[in-house]
Structure 1
C-alpha cells in the first residue's frame, strides 16, 4: 500500500486537462430540431456561453453548468471567454442559433483563436457542430422556396459597409437568385429593408412572392406571405428572415414554391413523362453550356457582333470571347482520352 502524501513535493502532479471548444449550432430553437450531437456537446460541457436569448432556448440542458450570458453585440467577448475557459481545461459549448458557421460564432471564434496563436495542433481542440440555419428552418414552414439556386445576404451594416451590401443585393437580384435576407430590420435600422426592396424591384416583378418568417419554430412564430411590392410594409424585425422568390417562384394554397426546372426538359403525355424535342434525358439542356456555345458560334457566323450577343445574354463580352476560345466538348474529350 502506498502511503505517500499526494500533495508532497515528491509526488508526480496530475497531467493538465486539455480544454475544448464546441461551436454548437442549436438550429431554430425548438428542441425537436436540435441535432443529437448538439445536445450531447451541451450535456458534456462544463461551461456554456451564448447570447442571452439563445441561452434561454437550451435552459433545460444547463443544470449544474457554468453559464456565461452575453449581449447581442458581444460576439468577440464570447469567443475570448470561450478560449479563456478552454485554456483552464474546461469543456466549453459556445452556442449559436441556426448554424454556427452561418452568421454565427464560428468565424469570430477562429479570428480570436488565430490572433492568440492557436493552431489545430494546440491542446485546445475545436469542433463545429452544424445546425439548421434560419433559411432552412423558415423555408420548411412556407413550402419549397429554395429548391433552385439561392443565396443569403445580411442587411446589417453594423460591420459591413452599405455599398458592399447593396452590390450583393444588386448581383443577387440581377442573377435571379432566390434570396434570404438575414438581419433585415431592427429598432435602429429601419431603412435597409426599403433599400433592398428598391434594388430588387429593378429586376423582379412587383408580384414576386415574398415570405416573412418571425421566430421560426419558437413560441411566438409568425408567418406572412406578401409580394415584393408590399414587402417593406410587413411586420419585420431582427428575429425575422425574409425569403424573396425568383422570377419563377409562385404561391399556391399558401405555399411558396420555386420550380427546379424540370418543365424546361420534360412534358407529360398520356404515356407519362416525355422529353421535349431537342432534349435528352440525363444530359445538359440544349441551352446548357455546349448548346449555348454552339448557338454563339452560329450567331457570330450569321453576322451578329460579340457585343450584341453579350448584351442579349447579360454577360461580359470578354467572358464570351474566352468561352468561345475553349475547344468544343468532343475535341476536349479527345485530348484527355475521355469520352
Structure 2
C-alpha cells in the first residue's frame, strides 16, 4: 500500500494490521527519531479529522506543515496538483488531503514521490473515519463476523456510509441501511429496513447527519427525529449490548436525541479518541512502506499486540 485512498484497497489482513498498530499506539507512547514533515491540506471544513491528524502527528514527533486554503495561492487560481507539488518540492514527506471532489486523488496518484492519505473525498470516501469506526467496533466485540450493523441517515450524500459499507461487509458483518425517502443510495449493496426494525435487531447503530451542504435544496428537519432518528423510545428497544456510533458533527435533536449522545450505549466520543490512534497507525504504515523511516523497534507492536 503506497497511498491510503480507500478502505476497499485493504485486505482483511491489512485491516487487522492497522487495528493492531492503533491499539499499540493507544497503550504505548512512541516517537520516531527521524525528522519527518507532514502537510495537512484541507480544502473543506474539518474539526475532528484535521485536529486528530494533528494530535497524531505531534504524538509521533512529526513536523506538521499546516495549510489554510483561504490564505493560500488557491485564491490566485493554483490547482490542487500544483499545490501538492509545491509541498513535495519544499520537503514534505507525506500529505494528508481533504477535498470537495469525489476523485481528487486521480490527478495525483503515480505522480508524486511521497505518500498521500485521503482525509475525505467529496461524497465518495472517508477511509480514515472508516478505520476508526472499525477499531471502535472491534474493541467492543473482538470480531465482525455476523455482527448486525445499521447505517442510518443521509446515506446518499455520505462518504462515511460508502467506506464503512465496503469494509464491514468484507469483514463478515451484516450491514443494513435506514434512510428517509430521498436519502437512499441505490448504488450501495445493502438491504433497507425501517428504523424501528433496526433498533431491535442490530448490534451497532451507526448514525449519520443530514449533509445539508451537499443538498440542492435544504431539507426540512422539524419532524425528522420522530420519523427517522434515534429517539429515547427507540433506544430502549435496542439490545442490551448494542452500541450507538456517529462520525460527527452531531445535529442534536435531529438524527439523535440529545440525551443519547453521552448515554451508556454511546461510543461517539470514544470514536473521536480512536481517531488519533488509527491515524497514527496509518501514517506509520505508509512511512515504513516508503522507507522514509527505518527504526529498529518498528516491529515491537506486533509482539505487543500478540501478547495482549
What range describes the TM-score normalised by the shorter chain of this pair? Answer: 0.3 to 0.5
Of Structure 1 and Structure 2, which has the larger fraction of its residues in strand? 1
TM-score (norm 1): 0.34
Q: Based on CA coordinates, which of the two structures has the bigger radius of gyration?
A: 1
TM-score (norm 2): 0.37
- Say which structure, 1 or 2, has more relative contact order (CA 8 Å, 6+ apart): 2
Of Structure 1 and Structure 2, which has the larger fraction of its residues in helix? 2
